[in-house]
Amino acid sequence: MSGKDDDLFTDPDESLFADAMQQVQPLEKKSKITSSTAPVRKKVRKDIHQQISHPAYHEPAQRKSSLQEEGSPWVLRANGIAPGILKKISCGQIPVNQSIDLHGMTRDQAISSLEQTLQSSLQASDRVLRIIHGRGLHSPDGRPVLKNSVYQWLKAGSMSGYILAVTPAPNTAGGSCLVLLRRDKHK
């Protein structure tokens, strides 16, 4: 067979590959990737996984509140939550899972008790919490101290990142509110 016949049986891709590979130089031994780097990569992944799965990673301080007032200081709604969700909560379409009564407590006692109840509600994957704070009829100067403190804490307190919406409970004349809680996606 002549050289011309050999060209007929040669794959054009192979000749292109051979031409491209002629200028390839082997790597120096120092710059080669070895299997000794694999454990480092696994250790970094393990450290990151431990950090994410650590309970402190999901602490309330890690979450930022996005609650905004909805025309009234007693109605709060997080970004991305449809306005209709407030109606669903008020109408009872989303059932109340837990209630807390703060009557007779000082501001500090009420916030501490509320924080504990909110934490237990989140652990139980509750969706709606009823907070009975009263209307403030017996407060000094006739201003509702406890009601104001509760709403301020819900809006900007340590657990505000877990709250999606707050609306006055129906038929309570403003003496209690319903809180829509964020679902924990890690459970």
Cα separation, 80 vs 180, in Å, equals 13
132: CB partners within 8 A, 6+ apart: 99, 100, 101, 102, 103, 172, 175, 176
Cα separation, 23 vs 48, in Å, equals 41
| 3-17, 39-53, 164-178: range with highest mean pLDDT | 164-178
pLDDT tens figures, 141-160:
767 778 888 888 998 888 88
Which class in CATH covers the domain with range 64-181? alpha beta
**Rounded mean pLDDT, 38-53:** 50
Residue 177 has pLDDT above 70, yes or no: yes
The residue extents of the domains of the chain are 12-58, 64-181
Q: Is 104 left (phi over 0), alpha (psi -120 to 50) or beta?
A: left
Instruction: Tell me the whole-structure pTM to 2 decimals.
Output: 0.61
Lowest mean pLDDT among 12-16, 90-94, 119-123, 136-140: 136-140
